[in-house]
Amino acid sequence: MGSTKEKAPKTYSLRATENALQNIDNITGYIAYIKHQPINAIHVGDKIFETFDRIEKNPFSFRECEEIPTKTKIYRKAVIAVRTANSVCRSVTLRLARWMKSYTLTFISWLKI
């Protein structure tokens, strides 16, 4: 019987810019200190970093970023829906730029309600 080699799934690297990391701090800080919901701030941070893991596994599972149209479709956008303690749904948007076999997290925004 022949042996079969299983291929390891292709992974991409993800690098977050200083601006993107500052945006995460701003978002979680706003939720924790301004809205007085520290548990929700932890939840939002966890969701963002879980999405990082998903991006590294398969960035093409996220839709193309319409705000920055390109011929090579190098920009992707991940939107995370987060429900807070007062049952308000907010979205966190991550914008990614592809360079070779890695992605750079360039921008994170948050819809404040």
CATH of the domain at 77: 3.30.2310.20
Residue 6 in domain: no
Q: How many CA atoms lie within 13 A of 96 on its CB side?
A: 28
Report the pLDDT value the prediction gives residue 4, as an integer from 0 to 100: 60
Is 32 contained in some domain? yes
Query: Which stretches within the chain are classed as H helix?
Result: 18-29, 38-57
Q: Is the pTM of this model over 0.75?
A: no
Domain limits at 60? 13-110
Residue 35 confidence (pLDDT): 83
Asked whether residue 76 is domain-assigned, the answer is yes
Instruction: Let me know if residue 40 belongs to a domain.
Output: yes
- Whether 59 is in a domain gets the answer yes
> How does pLDDT run across 5-48, given as a tens digit for each residue?
666 567 778 788 888 888 889 888 988 898 888 998 898 889 88
Mean pLDDT of 53-76: 79
State how many domains the chain has: 1
Please name the residues in contact with 51: beta carbons below 8 A apart, sequence gap of 6 or more: 78, 80, 94
Q: In this predicted structure, what is the pLDDT of residue 33?
A: 93
